[in-house]
Structure 1
Amino acid sequence: MPRYDYRCRACGITFELNRPMSAANDPATCPAGHTDTTKLLSTIAVTGTATATPPAGTSGGGSCCGGGCCS
């Protein structure tokens, strides 16, 4: 279930709620009982390693957005 971050405009605390995506835009009440809250833009951290091989016929940077023709 997704986690959404909120900030209370009345008392300034930041809190999070786990709720279904279908309820993402529903009003949220802060732990102190205030209803004047706003949903924050959340960031996620992705860690780990990944490896990929460039498509055949490229040298890992030959496409336009790869820096080959845009320099």
Structure 2
Amino acid sequence: MPRYDYRCRACGDTFELNRPMADSSAPAACPQGHADTVKLLSTVAVTGRGGATPSPSSGGGCCGGSCGC
């Protein structure tokens, strides 16, 4: 289940809620009981070894490896 971040406009508290995507825009009360909250834009970081390997033709570097830098 996705996790969404919210901030309370009344007290400034930031909190998270796990809820279905269908409910992501539904109102969320802060833990202090205030109702004036806003959903924050979240970033997702995915790390790990997904099994993808770079192709031998990709030189890497700043411009694909062809500049010799």
1:42 corresponds in structure 2 to: 42
- Which segments of 5 or more consecutive residues in structure 1 lack a partner in the other structure? 62-66
Q: How far 1:12 sits from its partner (Å)?
A: 0.2
Between Structure 1 and Structure 2, the one with more helix by share is 1
Name the Cα RMSD after superposition: 2.0
- Counterpart amino acid of residue 31 in structure 1: P
Which segments of structure 1 move beyond 3 Å, counting only runs of 4 or more?
none
| CA displacement, residues 16-70 of structure 1 (integer Å, 9 cap, x when unaligned) | 000000000001100111111000011222222344243xxx8216xxxxx46xx
1:59 corresponds in structure 2 to: 57
Q: TM-score, normalised by structure 2?
A: 0.73
Q: TM-score, normalised by structure 1?
A: 0.71
Number of residue equivalences = 61
- Which segments of 5 or more consecutive residues in structure 2 lack a partner in the other structure? 65-69
